[in-house]
Amino acid sequence: MAMMQLAWARRATTAVGRLCSSGGTRGARRRLSGGAQRWAARGASPGRRLSTAWAPAQTALEEAVGVEDDAHAPADNKPLWTTPPASPVPPEPPGPPGGRSLVQRDIQGFLNQCGASPGEARHWLTQFQTSDHSTDKPFAVIEVEEEVLTCQEGVSSLAFALAFLQRMDMKPLVVLGLPSPATAPSGCLSFWEAKAQLARNCKVLVDELRHNAATAVPFFGGGSVLGAAEPAPHASYGGVISVETDLLQWCLESGSIPILCPIGETTSRRSVLLNSLEVTAALAKELQPTKIIFLNNTGGLRDGSNKILSNVNLPADLDLVTSAKWVSPKEQQQIRLIVDVLSRLPHHSSAAITAAGTLLTELFSNKGSGTLFKNAERMLRVSSLDSLDQGRLVDLVNTSFGKKLRDDYLASLRPRLHSVYVSERYNAAAILTTEPVLGGTPYLDKFVVSSSRQGQGSGQMLWECLRRDLQTLFWRSRVTNPINPCCPSPRKGPACRRDPTAPRTTHVA
C-alpha cells in the first residue's frame, strides 16, 4: 500500500507541478531589508557595513547563477519531491480512497502554504531529504511560543507543516514555550499553573496533529528526558544540566513526533520549570539537527522600520545585530543561543526565527519568510590563478552553467585576469578581467553560485564584496536572461545600458 501511495504521489505531484509552474514566479533571494541597510549605514563606522546588506541586481545574479545566459532552471514538470529513503517492500494492492485523498491534500496544502514555485520546493526537499539521513536524528528542533498555540489558525498551520515534514521523513522535534505570566490572574505564574497550561497546549497540538494523520508522543513532565538544577532563590526557572535522548530517539524511529514540555527533574526528584529556549539549545547540541527553528506569530527579527531582517551571516554580522537598539532582550537571548549552538553543529546547519504560519515558506522557498542565521564562508580575493585550486574553480563553473568550459579557457584568462573572488569552500566565485573597452573597466566574466548554496546568501555576499572593492564594473547577458528585468535604474544604483538591436545587454555598475 505504501508503494502504491508513493506512486500516486508522483503522478499527482507531476500534474500539480505543471499547473502551478505556468503562473509561478521565482522567489526573490534573501536579503536584508532596506530599513536594516539604512540603519547599518547610520550606525556603523565608515567602511563597516553588514556583510549581508542588499546589493543591486543581486537577486537576478544569484537567480541566474551566472552573468551569461547559461544557467538552466530545473523543469517544473518533474515530480515535486523525491520520496524519502525506505527499505524495499513487496508490491501491495492499491490503498483506499482515503490514502489518496491524504496525498492530494498534502500536495495542494504544501503548495498553498509554501508559496514557492515547484522547482524551488523540489530543490529544497531533495537537499533536505538527502543530507545526513538518520532514523534516530531529527531534521529540526522547533521551539513554539505559547502565543502560537492559543491561536486556532496558528495551530492548524503548524500541525499541517509538522505532519508534512514527518511524512517526508524530515522528522521534527517540538519544544513548547512557557506560558506568559500575564495569563495568570495574579500576574505571576506558579509551577502548577504553568504545568497545567503546558498540558492544555500540548493536548491542543496533539489533537490537531491527529486530524492531520500524524502521531505524536507528548512528554508532559519532561523529567524522563531533562535533568535540571535547582532554581536559584527568587528565580523562575531551573537550569538544564543533562539530556537523555533515548526516548526521543525511540519516538523518532517509530515515526512519532516528540512534543516536550520544558519541565525538568532535579536530583532530589523535584520537578522545575525550564527556559524553553535553553531546552531547545540543549536538545540541538545533543541531537545535531539540520535546523533549529523558533516559531512565533510575528515572524523574524524586525529592524527599526519594522521590516524583517532576512539574513544574519555569522560571525560577520553578529556584533552589529546584537548591539542594535531594536533587538529585544528575548531576541538577544535567542541570538546568543543560536551562535553557541551553530558553533557546535555541522557547517550546513542553520537556525531560523519565523512565524508558525509560514514555516514551510521558510524551509522550502528561496526567499524564506523569517530571519535565517547561518555560518557563512569567507570570501577570498586573488589576482593570480596560481593562488587557486584551479580544478575546483573549473568544476564549480561547469556545474553551475551545466556545460563544460573550453579547454583553453584558463590559458586565455591569464593575460587579461583582473581578479578572482571565491568562497573558501569553492561554492561561489566571480571572475573579473580587464578588457580594452570602457577605459579598462573590470569586466565580470563569470559569476557562479553552487546549487547547494542558492537561497542561502552566498551570491549576495559575493556581490557585496564586488561592490565594496570596485567602483565600477560591467557585464553582458543575453536579452532573455532573467537578470535583465531586475537591473536597477540609475537613480537606485548601478546604471544599466541596453541596446535593443543587440543580441546581448551590457550592464555597467
Most confident of 96-100, 125-129, 277-281, 500-504: 277-281
Q: Give me the pLDDT at residue 438, please.
A: 83
> Can you read off the three cell numbers belonging to residue 302?
524586525
pLDDT above 60: residue 34: no
Contact 176, 198 (CB under 8 A): yes
pLDDT band at 291 (very low <50, low <70, confident <90, very high): very high
pLDDT confidence bin for 500, thresholds 50/70/90:
very low
Q: What is the pLDDT of residue 103?
A: 65
For residue 220, what pLDDT is reported? 87
Asked if pLDDT for residue 501 goes beyond 50, the answer is no
Q: Which three cell numbers stand for residue 320?
A: 552589529
Q: In degrees rounded to 5, what are phi and psi of residue 185? A: -55, -35
Tens of pLDDT, residue by residue over 110-147, are 767 776 677 777 878 887 877 766 777 899 999 999 99
pLDDT in tens, 231-252: 887 777 888 999 999 999 999 9
Condensed to tens digits (0 to 9), the pLDDT of residues 181-216 reads: 766 566 677 888 899 999 999 999 999 999 999 999
Mean pLDDT (whole number) for 8-31: 41
Among 21-30, 38-47, 194-203, 471-480, name the most confident range: 194-203
Could you give the C-alpha distances from 235 to 16, 227, 268, in angstroms and in order? 54, 17, 18
Residue with the bigger pLDDT between 9 and 131: it is: 131
Could you give the CA distance from residue 268 to residue 257 in angstroms, rounded to a whole number?
29
Beta strands, E only, 213-283: 216-219, 226-229, 239-243, 257-260, 263-265, 271-273
The pLDDT of 486-495, averaged and rounded, is 37
Which of 53, 141, 177 is CA-nearest to residue 344?
Answer: 141
CA dist., res. 418 & res. 432, Å (int): 5
Give 484's DSSP letter: G
pTM given for the model: 0.63
pLDDT at 418: 93
Buried b / exposed e over 228-262, threshold 16 CB at 10 Å, is: bbebeeeebbbbbeebeeeebbebbeeebbbbbbb
Q: Sign of dihedral through CA atoms 486, 488, 493, 499?
A: positive
Whole-number Å distance between alpha carbons of 343 and 320: 19
pLDDT at 481 (0 to 100): 60
The three-state secondary structure class of 414 is helix
Residue in 314, 438, 319 with CA at minimum distance from that of residue 376: 314
**Residues contacting 245, CB < 8 A, separation 6+:** 225, 283, 286, 287
pLDDT in tens, 138-176: 999 999 999 999 889 889 999 999 999 998 889 999 999
Give whole-number Cα distances, 164 to 9, 105, 181, 253, 453, in Å: 13, 10, 33, 17, 24
Judged against a pLDDT cut of 70, whether residue 468 lies above it is answered with yes
